[in-house]
């Protein structure tokens, strides 16, 4: 659930809005300035003047889309004007960038008639590689798109029409196939007669639906031959010779219902009148024409899709427009043809029938995703969508004669994957994994406002059940201030905790030979971090996240006094995940928080822990041991220690892709590593960076996070036998949420591993081993 204050804070936090402009070339020196602007900029200007197509080589036009609106039909809000529609257009820009790496300028026009919008877009053609029309009311939207497509030489696409049609078309192809019906014979009712409805009907006909089998309804009932009220030329195209006058009458014995209208306008009784094995696409947002649970209860034989993410078969336009524009831009298409839209639909329908990778299933909480009644179209966060759909669009553009460049589709697929596949959605991956099995994540700083705000997100996202440690009355008072529902979480108080006497005895047992008495054990447990660690140790919580109010060493020390290290591990270490905004790659830096001057043996152990962390993020580790020296170029005790660590690691994990010692730039630039040091066993550039000491590692991650251009997740504590993580004191709400999600995922893995070990033990006992 999205609250008003959450939405306003999201949009108003600095910098305001959701998008910015980032330079793609350096401008740090006088030479850079001379190249970026005068006099150097004159050279490409003259080249483009001589050959206008060179604008795609020397400028960003080929990756730039205008999202244009006049604000006359914004979401379900109606004609709220261009300025009020700007947050939606910025949101569209975010989706273009997130899913297809396309840059966007949002353009809100103070234009109340179609001709003004058309002329404005025509004047913008030199700037943009494509135009996405958005939230323009019907019937003007049809005229605007039709005239722009005739007059411009760049792709123009009205997503409200065609995006919905493309995704709904894929759902219809697969849904009717599963129902044992054909497109040509299916009887279809479309409720709604606006832009999306008309476009869907046209697209369905292209896909094989018989035009006469479509009955369209608007707010006044069926569009029938001879009707005069509320008609326009676009509605008239779908007026049918029929006795039906109401939606209820139209739906009787129909095979498909497509809702593009308003919430709760369809009743269970109306669904019961449909033919056997009906396909119900109730696509009104945010609430469908009939709630999903009501639809499947009324018709257990129905295949049901909605626009919502909390039910199966979400029809979401993000499955369409990013990939369509990616392909259209890369083919330099002069327009978006019907063939390109059909190719997009068919690629989505085909992808849904393929085996779904485990990594995608994990994103959706381990859900068993396979082609069937509850999975007729791919999921929006399936990274294969753009990788399949965009090449299909490129192929169709070339075949239909609108591509201005010839594209090697095999090579294009490789370049596209390199461009899009890594670094995106990392934190979402964690969150979706965490949802698979809800764990209890303990927060010893239960009355900290940042923790409380984070817990609201943890609950909203279904990441975990928070357990807050502290004074109940204070926590409930502060929670109310941030609108946190404490009935959905647990609160534990040290003084009144029923297990306190047992915790005292357990701590005394563990530490009695390390200088602690029973009385001292009782006093020590007044430390919330120590008490929380004991709760995790004794399985009264599954994981722990803390550190906002105490220094890192003072926080981690009591945790490690109670939580033992895993078998074979002698040191804990801190790993940071670094996600650059400009490179499709993740980096794991260690040890950034714990070990001041690790030995060679300890460095090798730190590398093993960091490599394991990388795999948790579905990244195959490539480990580089860093130094100021590369492969013996300088002889010193510090570089010798790093060289020894490499040899120790190769003995312990010979299959791990690792090498060193090497300088940092050599490690992350594969062309430099492989060009200068072809003998190195590390191929492809490193993604796990092991620093020689805490000084270098801590300085490196602090610089990266402070200078910008990267997202940092962590610190991730490796080594302890149970998931406990220590935040930096300056951590944000997002930092707390990310570590809580990671802790929950680790707790799930630990439970799974423990269950597997117990099962193996039971099998051995049954065999009499």
Q: Is residue 267 within 8 Å of 295, Cβ to Cβ?
A: no
Structure tokens at 624: 């580089």
Is a pLDDT exceeding 70 seen at residue 438? yes
**pLDDT tens for each residue of 622-636:** 999 999 988 888 888
**pLDDT tens for each residue of 532-577:** 999 999 999 999 999 998 888 888 888 888 898 888 888 889 999 9
- The highest-confidence range among 124-128, 641-645, 724-728, 754-758, by mean pLDDT, is 124-128
Q: What percent of the chain has pLDDT over 70?
A: 95
**pLDDT tens for each residue of 163-198:** 999 999 999 999 999 999 999 999 999 999 988 999
Confidence of residue 758 (pLDDT cuts 50, 70, 90): very low
The mean pLDDT of 93-115, rounded to a whole number, is: 94
pLDDT at 733: 80
Cβ neighbours of residue 204 closer than 8 Å, sequence gap 6 or more: 165, 169, 172, 183, 188, 214
Between 611 and 418, the higher pLDDT residue:
611
φ, ψ for residue 578, nearest 5 deg: -115, 125
Q: Which helix (H) or strand (E) holds 11?
A: helix 4-12
Is a pLDDT exceeding 90 seen at residue 707? no
Q: How far is Cα 152 from Cα 497, in angstroms, rounded to an integer? A: 72
SS3 label, residue 714? strand
pLDDT at 425: 59
**pLDDT tens for each residue of 461-492:** 889 999 999 999 999 999 998 888 899 999 99
In Å, how far are 190, 218, 254, 380 from 239, measured between CA atoms? 12, 11, 17, 35
Beta sheet of 657-662, edge-to-edge order: 657-662, 622-626, 688-690, 587-590, 573-580, 710-718
Please report the sign of the dihedral spanned by the C-alpha atoms of residue 270, residue 271, residue 275, residue 279. positive
Please report the sign of the dihedral spanned by the C-alpha atoms of residue 384, residue 388, residue 391, residue 397. negative
How crowded is residue 245: how many other Cβ atoms within 10 Å of its Cβ? 14
pLDDT at 756: 47
How crowded is residue 585: how many other Cβ atoms within 10 Å of its Cβ? 18
Is a pLDDT exceeding 50 seen at residue 760? no
pLDDT at 473: 93
- Closest by alpha carbon to 261, among 286, 285, 284, 234? 284
| DSSP-assigned letters across all residues of 176-240 | HHHTT--TTT--EEEE--SHHHHHHHHHHHHTT--GGGEEEEETTEE-BTT--TT--HHHHTT-B
**How many separate helices (H) and strands (E) can be counted in the chain?**
31, 21
pLDDT at 165: 95
The pTM score is 0.66
State the average pLDDT for the chain: 89
Active site residues: 37, 92
Beta strands at 156-158 and 130-133: parallel, antiparallel or unpaired: parallel
**pLDDT tens for each residue of 636-681:** 888 899 999 999 999 999 988 999 888 999 998 888 888 888 888 8
How crowded is residue 169: how many other Cβ atoms within 10 Å of its Cβ? 29
């Amino acid at each position: 659930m999205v609250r008003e204050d959450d939405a306003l804070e999201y949009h108003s936090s600095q910098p305001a809005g959701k998008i910015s402009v980032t330079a793609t070339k350096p401008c740090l020196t006088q030479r850079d300035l001379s190249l970026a602007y005068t006099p150097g900029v004159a050279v490409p200007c003259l080249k483009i003047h001589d050959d206008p197509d060179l604008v795609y080589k020397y400028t960003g036009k080929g990756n730039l889309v205008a999202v244009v609106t006049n604000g006359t039909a914004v979401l379900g809000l109606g004609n709220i004007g261009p300025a009020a529609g700007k947050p939606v257009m910025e949101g569209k820009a975010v989706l273009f960038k997130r899913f297809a790496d396309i840059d966007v300028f949002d353009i809100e026009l103070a234009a109340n008639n179609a001709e003004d919008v058309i002329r404005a877009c025509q004047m913008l053609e030199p700037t943009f590689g494509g135009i996405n029309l958005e939230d323009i009311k019907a019937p003007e939207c049809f005229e605007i798109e039709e005239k722009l497509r005739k007059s411009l030489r760049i792709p123009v696409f009205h997503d409200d029409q065609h995006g919905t049609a493309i995704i709904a078309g894929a759902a219809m192809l697969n849904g009717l196939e599963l129902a044992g019906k054909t497109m040509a014979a299916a009887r279809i009712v479309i409720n709604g007669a606006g832009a999306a409805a008309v476009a869907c009907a046209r697209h369905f006909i292209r896909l094989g639906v018989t035009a006469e089998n479509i009955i369209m309804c608007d707010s006044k009932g069926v569009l029938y031959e001879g009707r005069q009220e509320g008609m326009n030329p676009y509605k008239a195209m779908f007026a049918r010779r029929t006795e039906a006058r109401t939606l209820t009458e139209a739906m009787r014995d129909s095979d498909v219902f497509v809702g593009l209208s308003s919430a709760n306008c369809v009743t269970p009784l109306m669904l019961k009148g449909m033919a056997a094995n009906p396909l119900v696409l109730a696509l009104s947002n945010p609430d469908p024409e009939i709630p999903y649970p009501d639809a499947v209860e009324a018709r257990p034989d129905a295949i049901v899709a909605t626009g919502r993410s909390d039910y199966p078969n979400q029809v979401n336009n993000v499955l369409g427009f990013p990939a369509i524009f990616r392909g259209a831009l890369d083919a330099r298409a002069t327009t978006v043809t019907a063939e390109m839209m059909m190719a997009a639909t068919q690629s989505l329908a085909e992808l849904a029938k393929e085996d779904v990778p485990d990594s995608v299933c994990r994103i959706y909480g381990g859900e068993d995703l396979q082609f069937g009644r509850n999975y007729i179209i791919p999921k929006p966060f399936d990274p294969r969508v753009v990788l399949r759909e965009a090449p299909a669009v490129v192929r169709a553009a070339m075949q239909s004669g609108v591509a201005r460049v010839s594209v090697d589709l095999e090579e294009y697929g490789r370049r596209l994957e390199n461009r899009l596949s890594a670094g995106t959605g990392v934190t979402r991956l964690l969150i979706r994994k965490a949802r698979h099995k809800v764990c209890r994540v303990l927060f010893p700083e239960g009355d900290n406002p940042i923790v409380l705000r984070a817990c609201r997100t943890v609950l909203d996202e279904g990441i975990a059940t928070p357990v807050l440690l502290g004074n109940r009355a204070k926590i409930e008072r502060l929670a109310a201030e941030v609108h946190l529902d404490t009935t959905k979480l647990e609160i534990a108080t040290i003084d009144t905790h029923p297990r306190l006497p047992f915790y005292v005895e357990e701590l005394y047992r563990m530490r009695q030979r390390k200088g602690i008495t029973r009385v001292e054990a009782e006093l020590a447990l007044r430390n919330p971090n120590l008490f929380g660690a004991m709760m995790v140790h004794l399985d009264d919580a599954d994981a722990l996240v803390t550190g906002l109010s105490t220094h890192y060493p003072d926080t981690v020390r009591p945790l490690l006094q109670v939580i033992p290290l895993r078998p074979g591990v002698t040191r804990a270490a801190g790993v940071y995940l670094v996600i650059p905004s400009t490179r499709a790659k993740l980096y794991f830096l260690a040890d950034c928080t714990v070990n001041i001057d690790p030995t060679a043996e300890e460095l090798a152990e730190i590398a093993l822990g960091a490599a394991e962390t990388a795999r948790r993020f579905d990244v195959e580790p490539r480990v580089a041991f860093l130094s100021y020296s590369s492969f013996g170029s300088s002889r010193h005790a510090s570089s010798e220690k790093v060289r020894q660590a490499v040899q120790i690691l190769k003995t312990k994990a010979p299959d791990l892709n690792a090498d060193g010692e090497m300088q940092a730039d050599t490690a992350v630039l594969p062309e430099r590593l492989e060009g200068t040091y072809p003998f190195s066993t590390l191929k492809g550039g490193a993604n796990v960076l092991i620093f020689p000491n805490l000084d270098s590692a801590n300085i490196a991650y602090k610089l990266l996070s402070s200078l910008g251009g990267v997202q940092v997740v962590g610190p991730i504590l490796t080594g302890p036998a149970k998931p406990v993580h220590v935040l930096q004191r300056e951590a944000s709400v997002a930092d707390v949420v990310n570590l809580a999600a990671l802790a929950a995922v680790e707790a799930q893995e630990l439970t799974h591993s423990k269950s597997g070990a117990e099962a193996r033990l039971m099998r051995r006992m049954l065999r009499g081993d």
